[in-house]
Amino acid sequence: MTVSSREFVYGKFSDFYSNPSTAIPSPALLDQRELGFLLFKERIMLRHKGFSDISDLKLFLAEAVPSDVYHSCAYYENPEAEMDKKGWLGADLVFDIDADHIPTSCDKLHDEWVCSKCGFSGKGVTPEACPICEGQKFDTKTWSCELCLESAKEETAKLIDMLGKDFGFSDKEVHVFFSGHRGYHVHVENEAVKTLDAMARKEIVDYVTGLGLTISKGGIKGPKGKGASEKFFLSDFAWNKRIKQGMRKFISTASADDLKNIGLKRASKVIFDNKELILSRCIDKGFWDSVSKVKLETWKKIAEHVKDLESAKIDTVVTTDTHRLIRMNGTLHGKTGLKKVEFPAKHLTDFDPFKEAVAFKEGAVKVVVSDVPEFKLGGSVLGPYRRQTVEVPTAAAVLLICKGRAEVAS
Ligand SMILES: [Zn+2]
Ligand SMILES: [Zn+2]
């Protein structure tokens, strides 16, 4: 990033935080939380800060102009003390759904990674380790397109459904946010979850990701003895119900190839040719063995496949970390210049992050763009641009510069 680009972005962030009309909602019990800031100039993380109220924090933001603002999910007696002296009182249950963790059809088109050790590069999702030298550090160039965020949204919808129906959290307790970059955050604020330790949170993670869920011949294996029968069986609760609904959805839309691709042989044709009968008799009425050529093994294979479709792909380490810092609602993301914003869970389907999260709504700026696919921002469609100088709305200029795709034109 050139000096003038950095100054331009810094100036915009500074305007944002010093503008009295900028709304930054206070998280619950702000005075019990640790605050952390990534500073523009020093590029260091300032941690273990405490604020008694939101107006003090706003003054600090206007002065320090951080590129990123975080608060702890945890509540502490002394948020400013060293980690082991803070006095942990509890923590919200948080979930991070990020396009980085979801394989999408578009990631090969717009994401690249280069191994920091040997320089080997590739497209798509960054591997855990370099296939050549096993190095684990990479320089990445990612982009969040509509498709990426749409996949993240689908995972979020599955998670929210489980939190409400299977765990019984109320709408008021489940807070949904666009992260400002490549996904969504879900925070559960509830007295019962507040004091859960990392192990208990891991159990919740396993549930929503479907980890350890065994589909036996008798359907989903329940506690001792249950499901031990030789008949396929699914109840109408929790994962059993999710699998059943998922099977219905999968079979009703599957092509003959879809059925073959999950490992079905002769049964694929029988199912494809008798969809209505299979749906009503086997799935809806539970007579799983009533179609002679569709046997237990077939149901098991379909259920296994559906389990993957119905589980929610979350970033598991975020949920189990009881000291985690998470981006603060209403603040800017340093990689995009977009805001983290909260919205009602019931509006998830219609939520447009490329509109609702835009912070800089006025003016236009001339930038030199290296390479960017077509993208949507603030209601307009921009690009694709490749090695050209263009005038774009301020929000787009900030986004392109923050993503390393453009510099301010001199
Ligand atoms: Zn390497
Ligand atoms: Zn994409």
Q: Binning pLDDT at 50, 70 and 90, where does residue 214 land?
A: confident
Is pLDDT at 216 greater than 90 in this prediction?
Answer: no
- Ligand 1 centre to CA of 27 (Å) is 42
Q: Binning pLDDT at 50, 70 and 90, where does residue 110 land?
A: confident
* Percent of residues, the chain, with pLDDT higher than 70: 97
- Ligand 2 centre to CA of 356 (Å) is 19
Q: Which of 353, 348, 312 is nearest to 144 (CA)?
A: 353
246-261 mean pLDDT: 96
Closest-approaching ligand to the CA atom of 108 = 2
**The 3-state secondary structure of the chain, one letter per residue:** CCHHHHHHHHHHHHHHHHCCCCCCCCCCCHHHCCEEEEECCCCCEEEEECCCCHHHHHHHHHHHCEEEEEEECEEECCCCCCHHHCCEEEECEEEEEEHHHCCCCCHHHHCEEEECCCCCEEECCCCCCCCCCCCCCEEEECCCCHHHHHHHHHHHHHHHHHHHHHCCCCCCCEEEEECCCCEEEEEECCHHHHCCCHHHHHHHHHHHHCCCCCEECCEECCCCCCCCCCCCCCCCCHHHHHHHHHHHHHHHHCCHHHHHHCCCCHHHHHHHHCHHHHHHHHHHCCCCCCCCCCCHHHHHHHHHHHHHHHCCCCCHHHHHCCCCEEECCCCECCCCCEECEEECHHHCCCCCHHHHCECCCCCEEEEEEEEECCEEECCEEECCEEEEEEEEEHHHHHHHHHCCCEEECC
Is pLDDT at 116 greater than 80 in this prediction?
Answer: yes
pLDDT score, position 333: 98
pLDDT score, position 219: 65
Q: Binning pLDDT at 50, 70 and 90, where does residue 285 land?
A: very high
Mean pLDDT, the chain, rounded, equals: 93
Is pLDDT at 224 greater than 70 in this prediction?
Answer: no
- Ligand 1 centre to CA of 45 (Å) is 28
Is pLDDT at 227 greater than 50 in this prediction?
Answer: no
Q: How far apart are CA 175 and CA 348, in angstroms?
A: 11
Q: Binning pLDDT at 50, 70 and 90, where does residue 105 land?
A: confident
Q: Which residues pair with 192 in a beta bridge?
A: none
- Ligand 2 centre to CA of 153 (Å) is 13
Give the three-state DSSP class for 66: strand
- Ligand 1 centre to CA of 115 (Å) is 5
Is the bond preceding residue 25 a cis peptide, omega within 30 degrees?
no
4-15 mean pLDDT: 97
pLDDT score, position 218: 65
95-112 mean pLDDT: 86
pLDDT digits (tens, 9 = 90+) for 305-346: 999 999 999 999 999 999 999 999 999 999 999 999 999 999
Residue 403 CB contacts under 8 Å (≥ 6 apart), including other chains: 142, 143, 335, 336, 372
pTM score, two decimals?
Answer: 0.91
- Ligand 2 centre to CA of 377 (Å) is 15
pLDDT digits (tens, 9 = 90+) for 20-31: 999 999 999 999
| Ramachandran region, residue 404 (left: φ > 0; alpha: ψ -120 to 50; beta: rest) | left
pLDDT score, position 410: 85
- Ligand 1 centre to CA of 122 (Å) is 11
Closest-approaching ligand to the CA atom of 122 = 1
- Ligand 1 centre to CA of 113 (Å) is 11
Closest-approaching ligand to the CA atom of 99 = 2
- Ligand 1 centre to CA of 130 (Å) is 5
Residue 36 Cα to chain centre, angstroms: 21
Lowest mean pLDDT among 219-228, 329-338, 340-349, 378-387: 219-228
Buried residues in 112-138 as b, exposed as e (16+ CB within 10 A): bbbbeeeeeebebbbeeebeeeeeeeb
49-53 mean pLDDT: 97
- Ligand 2 centre to CA of 392 (Å) is 21
Task: Specify the higher pLDDT residue, 328 or 213.
Answer: 328
Give the three-state DSSP class for 327: strand
Closest-approaching ligand to the CA atom of 114 = 1
pLDDT score, position 221: 58
- Ligand 1 centre to CA of 121 (Å) is 8
Is pLDDT at 226 greater than 60 in this prediction?
Answer: no
Q: Which of 272, 267, 275, 243 is nearest to 255 (CA)?
A: 272
Which residues neighbour ligand 2 (ion) by CB within 5 Å? 106, 145, 147-148
Closest-approaching ligand to the CA atom of 145 = 2
- Ligand 2 centre to CA of 108 (Å) is 8
Give the three-state DSSP class for 145: coil
Q: CB–CB of 364/398 below 8 Å?
A: no
Q: How far apart are CA 288 and CA 279, in angstroms?
A: 10
- Ligand 2 centre to CA of 97 (Å) is 14
Hunting for tokens 């603060």 — which residue is that?
A: 328
- Ligand 1 centre to CA of 136 (Å) is 8
- Ligand 2 centre to CA of 54 (Å) is 36
- Ligand 2 centre to CA of 19 (Å) is 33
Closest-approaching ligand to the CA atom of 113 = 1
Q: Binning pLDDT at 50, 70 and 90, where does residue 205 land?
A: very high
Is pLDDT at 362 greater than 90 in this prediction?
Answer: yes
Lowest mean pLDDT among 108-112, 296-300, 381-385: 108-112
Closest-approaching ligand to the CA atom of 105 = 2
